[in-house]
Amino acid sequence: MKPKKKIALIGARVDGQSAVVVNALSYIDSVEVIGYFDDTDELQSKEINGYKVLGKVNELFENYLEKVDYLHVCIGNNEDRCDLYDKFKEFFKAYTVIHPSSIISDSATIASGCYIGPGSIINNNVKIDEYTIINTGVILEHDNIVGRGVHIAPGVVTAGRVIIGDKAFIGIGSRIIPDIIIDKGAFVKAGSIITKNINKA
* pLDDT mean across residues, the chain: 96
How sure is the predictor about 119, in pLDDT bands with cuts at 50, 70 and 90? very high
For 55, list phi and psi in degrees, rounded to 5.
160, -175
Strands of the 139-140 sheet, one edge to the other: 103-104, 121-122, 139-140, 157-158, 175-176, 193-194
pLDDT tens column, 121-157: 999 999 999 999 999 999 999 999 999 999 999 999 9
The CATH architecture one would assign to domain 5-95 is 3-Layer(aba) Sandwich (3.40)
96-196 belongs to which CATH class?
mainly beta
Percent of the chain, pLDDT > 90?
93
Per-residue model confidence (pLDDT) at position 33: 97
How sure is the predictor about 180, in pLDDT bands with cuts at 50, 70 and 90? very high
How sure is the predictor about 14, in pLDDT bands with cuts at 50, 70 and 90? confident
Per-residue model confidence (pLDDT) at position 61: 86
Over 70: is that where the pLDDT of 201 sits? no
pLDDT tens column, 87-97: 999 999 999 99
Tell me where in the chain the CATH 3.40.50.20 domain(s) lie: 5-95
Per-residue model confidence (pLDDT) at position 1: 72
Q: CA-to-CA distance for 151 and 133, rounded, in angstroms?
A: 5
Tell me where in the chain the CATH 2.160.10.10 domain(s) lie: 96-196
pLDDT tens column, 34-78: 999 999 999 999 999 999 999 999 999 889 988 999 999 999 999
Per-residue model confidence (pLDDT) at position 55: 96
The pTM for the full model equals 0.96
Over 90: is that where the pLDDT of 2 sits? no
Q: CA-to-CA distance for 148 and 59, rounded, in angstroms?
A: 26
Half-sphere exposure of 141 (CA within 13 A, CB side): 13
- Which parts of the chain fold into alpha helices (H)? 17-25, 59-63, 78-88
